[in-house]
Amino acid sequence: MTDYEAVILDVDGTIVRGEALLPAVTDGLRALEAAGCSRLLFSNNPTRGADHYGEKLAPHGIDVDPNAVLTSATVSAEYLAATHPNERVYLVGGERLEAILADAAVELTTDPDAAEVVLGSFDRDFSFGTLWESLRALKGNVPFYGTDPDATIPIDDGEIPGSGAILAAMAAVAGREADAILGKPSSISAAAAMDRLDTDPRNVLVVGDRLNTDIELGNRAGMETALVLTGVTDRADLAETDADTEPDHVLESLAAVDTLL
């Protein structure tokens, strides 16, 4: 019988890559269910809300409760609504994130000179003009947040630039780093996850493919961690990791999680 009461599962690079389900993932999910682990899916994808993952995984026979899904977009929306009510947020991000923020009653502005808060994220239309406007929005001590630190995003045939790359450009022109990253591995995201799971962090297993987000999230919060090698991290990366991002376990894939149960 496992000591784990709950599991936090990354999605991209752990359950799916692009639109394809990773091999034998359903075996791992069934093993976790048989062990009695509550399940929370947590993606750093800043372009999707909770409903998306139910729709994405249902064709593969995986049932997903929207209340058991977090994304960096939903965490960011909840945080900004709670901590910056009625303040105008200038967003560098896509239309899907804009809609998620608006649904959470976050006030948005397209005028960089009216910005009271700045949020940086993944933006396929990021350009010199966007960066110039970001410089204007980030004047003075305007609070500056990022949805997630992922410099790249895995897709079917490789990787594309992610939020972290855009945040780096914004930080460079502003001459300062973001005040906080709201998605994994932040304490903000850990608190959001624990609110959903309602259990002791010591009884939680975090499974993901990124050392600096999934594994660091678990390590910071006192959870047990397992790295899967189906995403952006390989064994060569493990040789260079530090104590903050060293996983407790390394698995070839989520299919092998039964070895920990």
pLDDT at position 2 is 61
Q: Average pLDDT, stretch 1-6?
A: 80
Q: Average pLDDT, stretch 202-218?
A: 96
**Terminal-to-terminal C-alpha distance of the chain:** 7
Residue 85 clears pLDDT 80, i.e. is over it:
yes
CA-closest candidate to residue 227, choices 203, 252, 244: 252
- With a pLDDT cut of 90, the percent of the chain lying above it is 82
Residue 34 clears pLDDT 70, i.e. is over it:
yes
How many alpha carbons lie under 13 Å from residue 95 in its C-beta half-sphere? 1
pLDDT digits (tens, 9 = 90+) for 169-197: 999 999 999 999 999 999 999 999 999 99
For residues 153 and 74, what is the distance between their CA atoms, to the nearest angstrom?
18
Q: Average pLDDT, stretch 41-52?
A: 94
For residues 199 and 194, what is the distance between their CA atoms, to the nearest angstrom?
7
For the chain, the average pLDDT equals 94
Spell out the alpha helix ranges (H) of the chain: 25-34, 50-57, 72-83, 95-103, 128-137, 163-174, 187-197, 216-221, 235-238
pLDDT at position 153 is 79
- pLDDT band for 61, please (50, 70, 90 cuts): confident
Q: Average pLDDT, stretch 19-30?
A: 92
Name 142's Cβ contacts closer than 8 Å, sequence gap at least 6: 115, 116, 117, 118
- Beta-ladder partners of 236: none
- Beta-ladder partners of 204: 6
